[in-house]
Structure 1
Amino acid sequence: MFTNLVLFTLLTLPSTATIPITPKNTSGIAGEWNLLHDNLGISPMHMQLLHNDKIVMFDRTDFGPSNVTLPFNRCRYDPFDPVIQKDCTAHSILYDLQTDTYRPLSIQTDTWCSSGAVLSDGTMVQTGGFNDGDHTVRTMDPCDDETCDWVEYHGYLSERRWYSTDQILPDGRIIIIGGRQQSNYEFYPSSSPDYFIPSLNTSSFWLDFLRGGTVNEAITENNLYPFVHLLPDGNLFIFANIRSVVFDYKQNHVVKRLPPIPGDDPRNYPSSGSSVLLPLDENGPIDPEVIICGGAPRDGSRVRSFARAIPTCGRIKVTSEDPNWEIETMPIARTMGDMVILPNGEVIIINGAGSGTAGWGNARDPVTRPVIYHPDGPPNTRFSVMQSTSRPRLYNSVAILVTDGRVLVAGSNPNPFYNFTNVEFPSELSLEAFLPPYLAKEYDPLRPEILSIDVEVIEYRKPLMLMFTVLKFLKLSRVTVRIIAPSFTTHSLGMNQRMVVLKEDKNVSIVGDLFMKTYSIGVFGPSTAEIAPPGYYLLYLVHAGIPSTGLWVKVE
């Protein structure tokens, strides 16, 4: 009965051993676009995938009426709203990936240019906004019936949070950083932490770095929506304008000042570049790297100057003793692009414009072709250009990864209100899906399918086993197990997005049954909460560069 069993050991292979599967060594594979809905009723500028495969989307409440009505005669009343004081239409929806349907949700305060994160129990937390929403916290508990909706806590935030950034922390709380005219940060929940932060008050804490060092780096220019990434040592990488620091939020102390990104061109809103923390691989020394791509030149943030977008990406090893930026040129200059980590560890850059900057009518030359960045490739050969969509996605567009490996794209409203006529770029209500090259049919024989996982919860440093099947097993390719924290995406920033490649259990070889085409692999849970904060993740098994469909897991 064991005649079909064989043992494959990967211990003799280098950690980078793989068979590259990219568009440049295949026959014309450059991804595929699918239109899912032509009219969602709203034009999303914020989007978050939840662990029950439902997606929260919302725009803002001072747009004027949307194209979807609130049920049960619910309306929003705001006598101070400059556009509409009584609004009986929805500005948020809950989209179900499994049924391809959506239903309206109710938001009572303005969410324009707000931020968000997901707690370890799966609750979505959404912070700040504009006007009556700037001190508000909103929460939503995922549900599988029709009962869940937004719950709003007015006046919860100690400061006005408009264009701020949220980051989930190892202890499960959220740090809320910056915003317009806010050189400070606070926490949700706001209860006192176990550690002491030197400050003049107990609710928000001064962050002098956000003030900038020169007039050109004033808080009102390009320091909004700072790029924030949690580092494996528990500190934060914070980037604003052209400068970045490693920051100890527990002691309110700058640990390290990194060199300015070359070129003197700002990357944050409204220049609107994008940033990701590249995948953290626990199979070797972790040297965290951040990449920042695109944006608009310093003089390009002037209204309707339509300067050419920044064509470069900067990549830096944050914790190196002598960190320096490695600069590469993208195939397409881009501002307002969204960067999404794909299950195989590559990064897609999607949406945006070739000239101009963020804001109403401030951009031209829509960039309809995504590019994929291959982090492990040689410098200056890391980009592949993908298939084009027919729909421009400019200001207030969004993109997220979903369970099956597609990238969902929505939004684009470069107008102050919903406007579908007599404008160059009408408000966009559609929902599209981009299928990266790894979803092409010709890779189906290499595509693994996860059959089972032997734990209900992934615990830190504890072993786990996965059973999987694959039609054509390539024993010389690297097989990895990866977890991805889905992002809260808005304004070209994917907050809390991160990937961890789990450590292989070297005492467990990959065991395969050639007849049944089934195999098993052993790995360990993340080493620390600093590497992977507690919460829900999408788990993917990647074989020969081709990922499985994702499986929701909880890390704690």
Structure 2
Amino acid sequence: MLAAATGSWQLLQESIGVSAMHMQLLLNDRVVVYDRTDSGPSNLPLPKGKCFHDSNDTARVVDCTAHSAEYDVSSNKFRPLTVQTNFWCSSGAITPDGELVQTGGYKDGERNVRVFGPCSTCDWQEIKNGLAAKRWYSTNHILPDGRQIIVGGRVQFNYEFVPKNKAANTFHLPFLWETNDPKIENNLYPFVFLNVDGNLFIFANNRAILLDYMKNKVVKTYPTIPGGDPRSYPSTGSAVLLPLKNLKASTIEAEVLVCGGAPKGSYSQAIQGKFIGALNSCARILITDPNPQWVMETMPLARVMGDMILLPNLDVLIINGAASGSAGWEFGRNPVLCPVLYKPDNKIGARFFKQTPTTIPRMYHSTVILLRDGRILVGGSNPHMYYNFTGVLFPTELSLEAFSPHYLEAKFNC
């Protein structure tokens, strides 16, 4: 690891009123931010006449606060949005025409599909019972034909597609059952990437498969990550598909990088108030190799609940999270304030670079996205059941920051 603290931070908004459990950049350079609807009132009021009324919703019979917002990057302003059902730990993706499709969630949101269009006056539109199965902690991926595949979720060992076919079908995937721990469920929010051959790489717990989703057939089983520790929720690591390499005219190589997470038993120990140190390892695998093997690397900082994002210069940024504990309410400790840069083309031992630290802990339910100008938008962090700002280790965080990597320094200006 080479020590090179670079990059800079800017506080964009001290509070947007909503904690950014999820964020998505749209093609009009605006960011949709959204949170749970059952966390009590937010700090962002809805416009007059927009209050939510539902006598069947015990969490919020009457609610005059927003749980979603739209942030305009260019003007650094935001506006409240209205949403009818619970986003909590939902999943989504952008369609080819630029719409955000968000699926599933908790209780009244578990089978709903929500759509948000990229326009200055758009608001959430909901499709009730748009899913064939309840989806909570599932993963979405856009497919070449424009559909989305939705993989897994709480007690869902299957996948489905949106938009629906004529029949509301689910397709059984035994791999999700095989990687499930009934007490902990370390197969939630699986990592899903489209391979160059058109099949899906799906990682859950500590291993992965290659799935032909058209035939519902597993075409390859990958080795277990050395050490066997889980990497998916609640032992939450992170993963990226590295930039593709075209080594020959007819050959494209694809690699997946999985970093951080929590050792076996971390979640159970955290429930008892014991916070085990997070994993400091990354595992990298060439998924197109006929005989793929995981290659292990050591990060300069252990991290659970971290986020990873590809940068325009093909580097990877690892950011947010904690150095001990697990995902879940109050289960993380020792926030990792320092981002780390990973250069995939460097030699092993010279790939990690520490970056300038932030001053704001970003724990459970924090998020990052890459903006069009190359900055990284960072938001969220609410490790509590409700919005809580006093008397706690890590208060609910309503701010937005921007991290500017080294490539935005003045010396690189043309």
SS in 1 for 2:43: coil
**CA separation of 1:23 and 1:149: change in aligned 2, threshold 3 A:** farther
Cα distance between partner residues in 2 of 1:132 and 1:371: 38
1:123 to 85, 99, 110: 99
- Aligned to 1:94, the other structure's residue is in SS state strand
Deviation at 1:243? 1.3
Shift of 1:86: 1.0
Q: Which amino acid aligns with 2:134?
A: R
Counterpart secondary structure, 1:399: strand
Residue 406 of structure 1 corresponds to: 375
1:326 alignment partner in structure 2:
295
Structure 2 residue aligned with 1:289: 255
Alignment match, 2:155: 181
SS at match of 1:55: strand
Q: Please identify runs of 4+ aligned residues in structure 1 that moved more than 6 A.
A: none
Residue 78 of structure 2 aligns to a residue whose secondary structure is: strand
- Displacement after TM superposition at 1:72 (Å): 3.0
Q: What amino acid sits opposite 2:177 in the alignment?
A: R
SS in 2 for 1:298: coil
Question: Which residue number corresponds to residue 268 of structure 1?
Answer: 232
- Conserved 8 A contact 1:272-1:335: yes
What does residue 384 of structure 1 align with?
353
Structure 1 counterpart of 2:398? 429
Are the equivalent residues in 2 in contact too, given 1:398–1:409 (CA < 8 A)? Answer: yes
Counterparts of 2:340 and 2:77 in 1: how far apart (Å)? 29
Q: CA deviation at 1:80?
A: 4.1
User: For this pair of structures, how many residues does the alignment match?
Assistant: 409
The equivalent position to 1:256 in structure 2, one of 213, 220, 223, is: 220
**Aligned with residue 264 of structure 2, among 298, 310, 325:** 298
Aligned to 1:110: 86
Q: TM-score with structure 2 length normalisation?
A: 0.96
Aligned to 1:349: 318
Rg larger for: 1
**Kindly tell me: are residues 405 and 310 of structure 1, through their superposed partners in 2, closer, same or farther at Cα, counting changes over 3 Å?**
same
Aligned-residue RMSD, C-alpha: 1.6
Shift of 1:305: 2.6
The alpha carbon displacement at 1:84 in A equals 2.7
How big is the shift at 1:191? 2.0
- Whole-Å Cα distance in 2 between the matches of residues 158 and 437 of structure 1? 45
> Within 1, Cα distance between the matches of 2:353 and 2:56?
49
Q: Which structure 2 residues correspond to residues 90-101 of structure 1 after superposition, within 5 A?
A: 90-101=66-77
Aligned residue identity for 1:333: A
Summarize the Cα distance change of 1:402–1:125 in structure 2 as closer, same or farther, 3 Å threshold.
Answer: same
Residue 190 of structure 1 aligns to a residue whose secondary structure is coil
Question: Kindly tell me: are residues 354 and 37 of structure 1, through their superposed partners in 2, closer, same or farther at Cα, counting changes over 3 Å?
Answer: same
Secondary structure, aligned partner of 2:413: helix
Residue aligning to 1:211: 177
User: Which residue is equivalent to 1:58?
Assistant: 34
Alignment of 1:501-520 (within 5 A): none
**Residues 262 and 79 (structure 1), Cα distance of their counterparts in 2 relative to 1, 3 Å cut:** farther
Q: Is the 8 A contact 1:113 1:129 kept in 2?
A: yes
Query: Residues 176 and 185 of structure 1 are in contact (CA less than 8 Å); yes or no, is this contact kept in structure 2?
Result: yes
Q: Quick check: 1:181–1:219 contact (8 Å CA) kept in 2?
A: no
Q: Which amino acid aligns with 2:313?
A: N
Contact in 2 for aligned 1:368/1:392 (Cα 8 Å): yes
Verify the 8 A CA contact 2:131 2:168 in the aligned structure 1: no
Which deviations, in whole Å up to 9, do the C-alpha atoms of 1:245-285 show, x marking residues without a partner?
00000000000000001111100001110000001134643
Residue 344 of structure 2: aligned partner = 375
| 1:222 paired to 2:186 | yes
Q: Is the 8 A contact 2:138 2:189 kept in 1?
A: yes
CA distance in 2, matches of 1:202, 1:59: 28
Contact 1:23 1:437 in 2 (8 A): no
Contact 1:334 1:353 in 2 (8 A): yes
Cα pair 2:245 2:254 within 8 Å, conserved: no
1:166 matched to 2:130? no
**8 Å contact 2:139–2:192 — kept in the other structure?**
yes
Taking the TM superposition and a 5 Å limit, the aligned residue runs for 1:5-84 are 30-84=6-60
- Per-residue Cα deviation, 1:332-369 (whole angstroms, up to 9, x for no partner): 00000000100000000000000001111001000000
AA matched with 1:335: V
* Deviation string, structure 1 residues 130-181 (Cα, Å, up to 9, x no partner): 01000000001111x3x21000011111100000000000101000110000
Q: Deviations over 1:360-394 (max 9, x none)?
A: 10010000000000000001210000011110000
Query: Per the alignment, do residues 219 and 208 of structure 1 end up closer, same or farther by CA in structure 2, a change over 3 Å counting?
Result: farther
For 2:160 and 2:202, the matched residues in 1 are separated by 15
Contact 1:158 1:204 in 2 (8 A): yes
Q: What is the DSSP-based 3-state SS (H/G/I as helix, E as strand, rest coil) of the residue aligned with 2:31?
A: strand
Report what 2:124 is aligned to.
150
Q: Distance in 2 between matches of 1:318 and 1:440?
A: 35
The CA distance in 2 between the partners of 1:408 and 1:128, in whole Å, is 25
Deviation at 1:286?
1.3
| Structure 2 match to 1:16 | none
Gaps of 5+ in 1: 1-21, 193-200, 446-556
Q: Deviations over 1:287-332 (max 9, x none)?
A: 1100000001111011233100010000000121111000000000
* Partner residue in 1 for 2:305: 336
Match of 2:206 in 1: 242
Paired AA for residue 175 in structure 1? I
One-letter code aligned to 1:416: M
User: Quick one: which of 385, 389, 392 aligns to 1:420?
Assistant: 389
Matches within 5 A, 1:438-453: 438-445=407-414
Contact 2:54 2:61 in 1 (8 A): yes
For residue 443 of structure 1, report the CA deviation from its aligned partner.
1.8
Helix, strand or coil: the match of 1:286?
Answer: strand
User: Could you tell me how far 1:221 is from its partner in structure 2?
Assistant: 1.5
Q: Contact conserved, 1:180 with 1:219, CA < 8 A, in 2?
A: no
In structure 2, relative to structure 1, the CA distance for the partners of 1:100 and 1:329 (3 Å cut) is same
Give the partner amino acid of 2:355.
Answer: M
Q: Quote the offset at 1:184 in angstroms.
A: 0.6
**Match for 2:328: what amino acid?**
G
Cα distance change on mapping 1:412 and 1:202 into 2, 3 Å: closer
C-alpha deviation, 1:417, in angstroms? 0.2
Residues 537-556 of structure 1 mapped to structure 2, 5 A cutoff: none
CA shift at 1:129, angstroms?
0.2
Residue by residue over 1:437-487, the C-alpha shift from the partner in whole angstroms, topping out at 9 and shown as x without a partner, is 111112224xxxxxxxxxxxxxxxxxxxxxxxxxxxxxxxxxxxxxxxxxx
Alignment gaps of 5+ in structure 2: none
Contact 1:53/1:96, CA 8 A, preserved across alignment: yes
Determine the C-alpha separation between the residues in 2 that align with 1:324 and 1:77. Answer: 54
TM-score of the aligned structures, taking structure 1 as reference length: 0.72
Residues of 2 paired with 1:202 and 1:362: CA distance? 37
